[in-house]
Amino acid sequence: METFIQALIMSFREGLEAFLIITIILKFLDKTNSANFKKDVWNGTIMGVIISLILGITLMILSSFIGGLSTTAKLWESIAGFIAVILITTFIVWMIKNGSKIKNHVENKTALNLSKKGIFLLALFMITREGAEIALFSFAGKYSITPIILGILLSIGVVMLIHYSLIKIKLKTILFITLAYLILQAGFLSGYSIHEGLSAAKSLNVLNENNPIFLKAFDLSDTIFYHKEGAVGLPLYVVFGWYSKPEWIQLILQYSYILLFFSYWYKKNK
DSSP state string for 157-171: HHHHHHHTTSS---H
Residue 35 main-chain phi, psi, to 5 deg: -60, -20
Write down the pLDDT at residue 74. 76
Q: Is 215 left (phi over 0), alpha (psi -120 to 50) or beta?
A: beta
Which neighbouring-strand residues pair with 216? 247
Q: Look up the pTM and report it.
A: 0.77
pLDDT tens sequence across 170-195:
767 777 887 888 899 889 889 988 98
**Are 231 and 160 in contact, with CB atoms under 8 Å apart?**
no
Write down the pLDDT at residue 62. 76
CA distance 209 to 244: 20
CA distance 54 to 41: 20
Count how many domains the chain has: 1
Write down the pLDDT at residue 256. 95
Write down the pLDDT at residue 250. 92
Write down the pLDDT at residue 69. 56
CA distance 175 to 190: 22
Domain span at residue 46?
Answer: 2-269
Write down the pLDDT at residue 204. 80
The low-confidence residues of the chain, meaning pLDDT below 50, are none
